[in-house]
A and B are shown apart, each in its own frame.
Chain A
Amino acid sequence: MQIVLALVIGALFGFVLDRIGATNPSVLIRMLSLRSLGLMKAILLAIGVGSILMFGGQMAGLVDVGHMSVKTAYVGVFIGGLLLGAGWALSGFCPGTGVCAAATGRKDALFFILGGLLGAAAYMITYPSVKATGMLDAIAGGKVTLGTVPGAKYDGLMAMPGDVLGIVLGLIFVAVAFAVPEAPGGDAVPAPAE
Chain B
Amino acid sequence: MTLNWKIGGVALGLVFFLAVLLVKPIGVSTQFVILDGIIADVVNPELVTKTDDGYTSTNAYLAKSGGKYAKSVANPLNYSFIFVIAMMVGAFLSAMMRGGNGADENKLPAIHYANFGDTPIKRYAIAFIGGFVVLYGARLAGGCTSGHMMSGMMQTALSGYIFAAGAFAAAVPVAMMMYKKG
A65-100 to B contact mask, C-beta < 8 Å, 1/0:
001111111101111111111111111111111111
Contacts A77-B162, A115-B135 given; does A33 touch B179 at CB 8 Å: yes
Asked whether any CB of chain B lies closer than 8 Å to the CB of A63, the reply is: yes
Q: How large is the interface on A (under 10, 10 to 19, 20 to 34, 35 or more residues)?
A: 35 or more
Partner of B166, one of A49, A81, A121, A145: A81
CB contact list, A46-67 vs B, under 8 A: 46-51, 53-54, 57, 62-64, 67
Partner of A19, one of B26, B35, B94, B179: B94
| Residues in B neighbouring A43, C-beta threshold 8 A | 9, 12, 150
Query: Is the pair A120, B86 in contact by a Cβ cutoff of 8 Å?
Result: no
Query: Is the pair B159, A45 in contact by a Cβ cutoff of 8 Å?
Result: no
Asked whether any CB of chain A lies closer than 8 Å to the CB of B176, the reply is: yes
B172 to chain A minimum Cβ distance, whole angstroms, is 6
CB contact list, B17-65 vs A, under 8 A: 17-26, 28-29, 32-33, 35-37, 39-40, 59-62, 64
Query: Is the pair B86, A6 in contact by a Cβ cutoff of 8 Å?
Result: yes
| Residues in A neighbouring B85, C-beta threshold 8 A | 10
Query: Closest residue of chain B to A48, judged by CB?
Result: B13
| Residues in B neighbouring A146, C-beta threshold 8 A | 156-158, 161
Query: Is the pair B79, A108 in contact by a Cβ cutoff of 8 Å?
Result: no
Partner of A119, one of B4, B92, B132: B132
Asked whether any CB of chain B lies closer than 8 Å to the CB of A150, the reply is: no
Query: Closest residue of chain B to A12, judged by CB?
Result: B15
A46 to chain B minimum Cβ distance, whole angstroms, is 4
A70 and B169 alpha carbons, distance in the complex (Å): 22
A87 and B135 alpha carbons, distance in the complex (Å): 9
Query: Is the pair B87, A90 in contact by a Cβ cutoff of 8 Å?
Result: no
Q: A78-B162, A78-B163, A91-B131 are in contact. List 7 more A-B contacts (CB 8 A).
A: A45-B10, A87-B137, A96-B28, A111-B128, A113-B131, A120-B36, A122-B132
The residues of A with any CB-CB pair to B shorter than 8 Å are: 2-3, 5-21, 23-27, 29-30, 32-34, 38-39, 41-51, 53-54, 57, 62-64, 67-74, 76-109, 111-125, 127-128, 130-131, 140-141, 143-147, 149, 157, 162, 165-166, 169-170, 173, 177, 182, 191-192, 194
In the complex, 6 of the A-B residue pairs with CB atoms within 8 angstroms, ordered by the A residue number, are A7-B86, A13-B86, A84-B163, A102-B88, A103-B89, A107-B120
